[in-house]
Amino acid sequence: KSGKVVVLISLTLLGCTMAPSRAHLYPGVGNRGIVAVSPTNPYISSNLFLSNEMERSYNLKNFVRTRGTPKAIRIVERPFDGSEVVLFYPEDNIIYTAERDPKLGSLEWMIKGPYPISVTDLKLMRHIMFERSETPVLRMEGRQVRYASRSSSSEMEYTDIVPRVPKIHPPAKPKEPKKIVTKSETKKEQIEAKPSEVNKTEKESKESKINKVEDEKTPTEEKPTIVEPRLPGMTAPSGKWVPLNTDQQAILMSLGYAERAQNGDIIHTVDFDDQNLAAIAKWYTGDSANASKIALANKIADDKPLTKGQRITVPLAIATNIQAMSSDFHLE
């Protein structure tokens, strides 16, 4: 009887240490190598897995919305280390990896990359039948959606450039005119000079030569001050807007910032059907009266009802808040 209890406790502890995984709910994807994400059928196992994980993970959802839907995935199930999902973008020959982060909860994925696709994976992908030119289709919140892939080849890193400031030296003293001394006067001065003064003069001459050599070694300009580059967009709208690349956009959105267009405009996705332009204007601009300006920018009527999932552009010129709008925010 005691042996059965020990076995039962061991099995219980083993179950607690294993990271939760739902890949077994989608036959044909877990530990099956590279699997294509269908561009025509959202009910394929790989499509369903990606769609459902995006609905559960804030990071994964915003990453795919920004970077685009991968053309293929590979799910690696590890009993004690959790699951890993590899996202393939063959059009750019790169991959991203997604892993569970215990600190953020069992439903969150942490995205890393990009990394080049290995030669082995490239050979395996030749046998996968899918159209590279078509965007895979997913089923999110009861409707079919496509997130077009955004090539990373055109992405650029923006860093703050610190100009080199030259060292300012005080103006040199004007040289005194040389005094012409005859040999007889020189000999007379040497005889009259005290031994201590002669030694002092020789010492000063040596020190001046040493200082001259050290001055020649010292550069005339100071090294530029090294400043850690700040992530562009963090100072907007108060600072000058700097375009974000795909990875920076995903990081900002995972931290709660709103999605941004290349020109700095805020892109808001309507969370529910009752949301209106006045509330959006109040949140992002601080004044609900700016609803008319937002309507003009989106070419819609001020009082036109908004639908869930609709994307609204808020011009950067009137924006005062770059945090993503809270779903429970309402006008008083």
Q: What pLDDT is recorded for position 61?
A: 93
pLDDT digits (tens, 9 = 90+) for 260-311: 888 889 989 888 777 889 999 999 999 999 999 999 999 888 888 888 878 8
Amino acid at 177: P
Cis preceding-peptide flag for 224 (omega within 30 of 0): no
Spatial separation of the C-alpha atoms in residues 239 and 302, rounded to whole Å: 29
DSSP string, 118-184: PHHHHHHHTT----TTSPPEEEETTEEEE-----STT--------PPPBPPPPPPPPPPPPPP--HH
The H-assigned helical ranges of the chain are 2-17, 45-56, 58-67, 119-125, 183-192, 195-217, 246-254, 277-285, 291-298
pTM (2 d.p.): 0.42
Q: What dihedral do alpha carbons 102, 106, 107, 111 form, nearest 10°? A: 30
Q: What pLDDT is recorded for position 221?
A: 47
Q: How is the chain split among helix, strand and coil, in percent rounded to 5? A: 35, 15, 50
Q: What pLDDT is recorded for position 28?
A: 60
Q: What pLDDT is recorded for position 307?
A: 86
Q: What is the pLDDT along the chain (332 residues), one digit of tens a residue?
A: 444 444 444 444 444 444 445 555 555 677 788 888 999 899 988 899 999 999 988 999 999 999 999 999 998 876 656 678 999 998 888 999 998 766 655 678 889 989 999 888 888 877 665 555 688 999 988 899 999 877 654 443 333 333 444 555 566 666 666 666 565 655 555 555 555 554 555 656 666 655 655 555 545 444 443 333 344 444 444 556 777 777 777 777 777 888 888 888 998 988 877 788 999 999 999 999 999 999 999 988 888 888 887 889 999 989 998 888 887 787 76
Q: What pLDDT is recorded for position 12?
A: 45
Q: What pLDDT is recorded for position 185?
A: 59
Give the residue extent of every domain in the chain: 17-146, 246-318
Spatial separation of the C-alpha atoms in residues 167 and 172, rounded to whole Å: 15
